[in-house]
Amino acid sequence: MSRIVLKAILGMLMRVLFRPRVEGAERVPGDGPVILAGNHVTFVDSLFVALIVKRPVYFIGKDEYVTGKGLKGRLMAWFFRTSGIIPVDRDGGRGGVAALMTGRRVLEEGKVFAIYPEGTRSPDGRLYRGRTGVARLALMTGAAVVPFAMIGTDKVQPGGKGRLHIAPVTVRFGEPLDFSRYDGMERDRYVLRALTDEVMSEVMRLSGQEYVDVYATKARAA
């Protein structure tokens, strides 16, 4: 089964069950490299984004998604790969670099790459400080950054695990952000921080979430 067929079947099923409300989908450019940068509240966020955006969307995922054993493991690996998830070993010191380089390759091929700047799912539904990889990717590739917000998916999959619940979902896209004026400054940490904060400010406006100026990984550990 091809990605197009899978998207059509799952898209129809999710539209019937969840009737997602989509705002601003036309703001996603129809061609060229695009970075979708949004909040992350539960696992199914990626499924909704991939099914709503007309163009194929690629994500970074844990390599454990495609390394399962047996029939179930092979089926899961097929599903995740067909859904646009690119497995990367994110553990250890090189995990972030591997994810960054994978995103760069996708964007240099003129595709759509979705990223969650918080780096992990929100532990409590609030919006946390963004990692600067989103700004670095934008400056390295010249891709436009389209902020987006997932609203209601935490009710569909409470706690990020278990069976799905029927609940209203809204996916809201903002205007593309153009950072071309900062070309050549991808090594300037102050520029990277400022651009990342600009992206997160837009995500906060779109989502209506309370913002917490600490990293979600630290909040989760605490």
Q: Which residues are CB-contacts of 171 (< 8 A; sequence separation ≥ 6)?
A: 20, 21, 22, 23, 25, 48, 49, 52, 148, 149, 150, 151
What is the rounded distance in angstroms from the CA atom of residue 53 to the CA atom of residue 61? 19
Supply the DSSP string of 85-121, one letter for each residue.
Answer: EEEE---STTHHHHHHHHHHHHHHTT-EEEE-TTSS-
What is the rounded distance in angstroms from the CA atom of residue 82 to the CA atom of residue 6? 8
User: Which residue type is seen at 145?
Assistant: V
Q: Which two tokens stand for residue 33?
A: 């490299």
Give, for all 222 residues of the chain, the pLDDT tens digit.
566 766 777 777 777 788 889 999 999 999 999 999 999 998 889 889 988 899 999 998 766 655 666 765 666 666 666 667 777 766 555 657 888 999 999 999 999 999 999 999 999 999 999 999 999 999 999 999 999 999 999 888 887 666 788 888 999 999 999 999 999 899 999 999 999 999 999 999 999 999 999 999 888 877
Give φ, ψ of 14 to 5 degrees. -75, -30
What is the rounded distance in angstroms from the CA atom of residue 119 to the CA atom of residue 73? 25
**How many angstroms separate the most distant Cα atoms in the chain?**
50
Q: Which residues pair with 170 in a beta bridge?
A: 21, 151
Model pTM score: 0.88
> Are the C-beta atoms of 104 and 141 separated by less than 8 Å?
yes
Q: Which two tokens stand for residue 175?
A: 């205007």
Q: Which two tokens stand for residue 51?
A: 């099914």
Q: What is the pLDDT of residue 150?
A: 96
Q: What is the pLDDT of residue 138?
A: 97
* Domains identified in the chain and CATH numbers: 3-221 (3.40.1130.10)
Task: Tell me, letter by letter, the H, E, C secondary structure of 144-185.
Answer: EEEEEEEECHHHHCHHHCCCCCCCCCEEEECCCECCHHHCCC
